[in-house]
Structure 1
């Protein structure tokens, strides 16, 4: 075979091939293929899939970690949250009910608790909540937020819901101290607005003067929003009354009445079921569908709100008695000078029967009681005014009475620390602030009282 290049001609090494024989066949020089068995093919396919699956999982894991880290960073910086804990095992409660023989004063640190829930003592902070172990007073967890202030809080469904000045509501799990949900309810809230947060079954109610807002306690979803009734200017910040199927909220500056009205609001929908003109000092819950109050003129008033139209009954009681406590058909009234209290069994038609009367010791007064677990807890104390006038130290006791007979079951001396701010207690009344989970909290009730002026007792 002759090749030509730049005018030269020479014989190539393939000249021995016959002319016109064409190019060699591909199969002539091909390496014979090795045939795989079915098992080998299956193993090869599995190895291929496994390699790519590992690569896919690795990529997905890296992406998830990156996204999770960014979300965590954005989550914390978005809400400016600060969290510590939980530390150690979850604290157990001192008891399920109120103690029968309270007398041991529990350590409470530098301030008084906002609430005792199970084995946790909740303390308010300017920016959040600190939960301490009820037995040791050691911090279990702390939750707070920067650049805003805490307005109010309430405990509901195993969490404490915090309401902040920037309008954000946060549900913090009691066991972990970590947030469950965040919900923006308002743009900005004044720290002195008096706005509150209340529990209403499975609903969290944000109580602002211009509206009520219902949030799901489970996920923080806004369920409803209710403006004040057309005839009223705003909602009052007093605690609502929990009735069967409704929460009774006070509305203020209402036309057609003496200024206030009481509205039964469905906590699931925010709809108003009924309303009554509130011409009394204030109603309390007598039963599932019954309200009770004692008017300034001395009349005992009961209102049946089981239907859409409340039915009211009244009977004259006394000009010199004041309503002090209500529990399961029983009301406790005090004399005008707070030297005696009387328990009455009240029926729906406002008729009543005296169950018992207890008188205070000489130079002592009886404060606001609390009835629970078949017992009445009531403080007996020397008023700070009299203690200063007589130049004697203040002293007080906690009385535990049988709710049906008034028989004294137990008496405990209260610490002198209750009088450490006596200059601010001139217009205050001693009260039982809580009785549950194996503890009783006793302190002063009044506008000029520091929240530190209270003590916690256990058995």
Structure 2
């Protein structure tokens, strides 16, 4: 022990502790060294790493946001896009199947519905698409482009693909209304004549008279592009027939002697290769099964074609001359009379055909274009009109719901008079079931009617 007194330092005799020498070279005011335990050192190292990690994370986040913001700005300015929504929670569908007793008229949007998927009604507009809530009719999202006109659109799984007159193809997410990808389809020197967009599995097919082009539905990358077959002038604008492993497209101008000669080509949607081809009948083929086509000739013969191999096998059954092909589904063919006063269902296979049932329109009525869904057949029944309807007498129309196997009537409901209000010449059009699914059935006009009056019904 050391004691200080009047500037002298005395060492106590009872002290066993030696005086600690001053640290060499540190001077009088040197800071003593702090010795850390291993635990303290580990905590200090962890704090240092954590601080550096936070700084790195913040830097990366700022960079990602900057790049994302630039890409968004680039998309909006380069493609002149206008987007709004989504507004609120994603609307749930009214059902998982077509309605059994459709009688409730749903609120319609401001434009023609292009389709119903889940709880959304897609309304096609000149600049793009508006998705509305199927229950309320209110806009859920809108996607459009300035300085470009919409040519065609198609539902592709959980997206809608839009094709514009400047060649841009855009995939828009159904839930968000935001674009997933943009792709330019190469244009040629020839003018497009009614191009369309089709969907086949994971492939989006752009159909023009001069080419078919396949795009990846996931990325928009071009997979293939094919010109019309040798000896044919172009591809027809008719919807392809969806078969297992192939899409059947019509090629036109395939004969020097017949002006409207067509041949049907089975195109592999993944590669664009031709699997088979056959001469198409003038009325056109429809899908009877996974590998079977069916058609009704002008002479009244029912033709089936098995295209499971490279060489189609054809079978022909003679029927009445007084017949129109009105619908095909699940091995059943719906054949209507030429005056549309009756509809007959036939069970058809590759080599046989038998009548299942027949329904009559009744005096003063005719039957429109039916649609089969979930074991039921939906048929419009309406007054035959020879002149445009008036507001005092707009016409009477009903929707029949029949059992697809027996033809037994399951339900009948009166369609609203609004179907007649905006049509310019109903006498030249045909009332049709335009869609059935997700708890909704849509009825409207086809043919040469200027206005596309439609109505949607649910249970």
Interval containing the TM-score (normalised by the shorter chain): 0.7 to 0.9
Match of 1:344 in 2: 346
Aligned partners of 1:369 and 1:432 also within 8 Å: yes
- The 3-state SS of whatever aligns with 2:424 is helix
Alignment partners' CA distance in 1, 2:78 and 2:433: 40
- The 3-state SS of whatever aligns with 1:264 is strand
Tell me the C-alpha RMSD between the 2 structures.
2.5
Alignment partners' CA distance in 2, 1:200 and 1:103: 33
The answer to whether structure 1 residue 308 and structure 2 residue 310 are counterparts is yes
Match of 1:262 in 2: 264
Deviations 1:297-351 (Å, cap 9, x if unpaired)? 11111100000000111121011111111111111111111111111111202x3
Match of 2:451 in 1: 450
Q: How many angstroms does 1:220 deviate by? A: 1.5
- The 3-state SS of whatever aligns with 1:426 is helix
Deviations 1:85-137 (Å, cap 9, x if unpaired)? 11111111111111111111111033331111110011011111111110011
Alignment partners' CA distance in 2, 1:99 and 1:43: 66
Alignment partners' CA distance in 2, 1:267 and 1:43: 60
- The 3-state SS of whatever aligns with 2:97 is coil
Q: How many angstroms does 1:46 deviate by? A: 5.8
Alignment partners' CA distance in 1, 2:136 and 2:254: 49
Alignment partners' CA distance in 2, 1:268 and 1:192: 24
Aligned partners of 1:159 and 1:171 also within 8 Å: yes
Q: How does 1:100-115 map to 2 (within 5 A)?
A: 100-115=100-115
Deviations 1:143-164 (Å, cap 9, x if unpaired)? 1111111111111121111111
Match of 1:370 in 2: 371
Q: How many angstroms does 1:67 deviate by? A: 2.9
Alignment partners' CA distance in 1, 2:277 and 2:114: 32
Deviations 1:370-423 (Å, cap 9, x if unpaired)? 11111111111113316759x953111111111111111111111111112343
Alignment partners' CA distance in 1, 2:398 and 2:168: 42
Match of 2:91 in 1: 91
Which of 294, 297, 321 is matched with 1:295 structurally? 297
Match of 1:8 in 2: none
Alignment partners' CA distance in 2, 1:71 and 1:38: 50
Q: TM-score, normalising length from structure 1?
A: 0.87
Aligned partners of 1:166 and 1:189 also within 8 Å: no
Q: How does 1:179-258 map to 2 (within 5 A)?
A: 179-187=179-187, 193-255=193-255, 258=258
Q: How does 1:48-63 map to 2 (within 5 A)?
A: 52-63=52-63
Match of 1:20 in 2: none
Q: How does 1:51-200 map to 2 (within 5 A)?
A: 52-187=52-187, 193-200=193-200
- Say if 1:456 and 1:53 are closer, same or farther in 2 by CA, change over 3 A: closer
Gaps of 5+ in 2: 1-22
Q: TM-score, normalising length from structure 2?
A: 0.87
Aligned partners of 1:91 and 1:120 also within 8 Å: yes
Match of 2:19 in 1: none
Match of 1:286 in 2: 288
- Say if 1:357 and 1:195 are closer, same or farther in 2 by CA, change over 3 A: same
Aligned partners of 1:165 and 1:189 also within 8 Å: no
Q: How many angstroms does 1:191 deviate by? A: 9.6
Alignment partners' CA distance in 2, 1:398 and 1:43: 76
Match of 2:319 in 1: 317
Match of 1:37 in 2: 35
Alignment partners' CA distance in 2, 1:225 and 1:126: 27
Deviations 1:265-291 (Å, cap 9, x if unpaired)? 111111110000113311011111111
Match of 1:271 in 2: 273
Alignment partners' CA distance in 1, 2:50 and 2:377: 71
- Say if 1:62 and 1:157 are closer, same or farther in 2 by CA, change over 3 A: same
Alignment partners' CA distance in 2, 1:138 and 1:45: 57
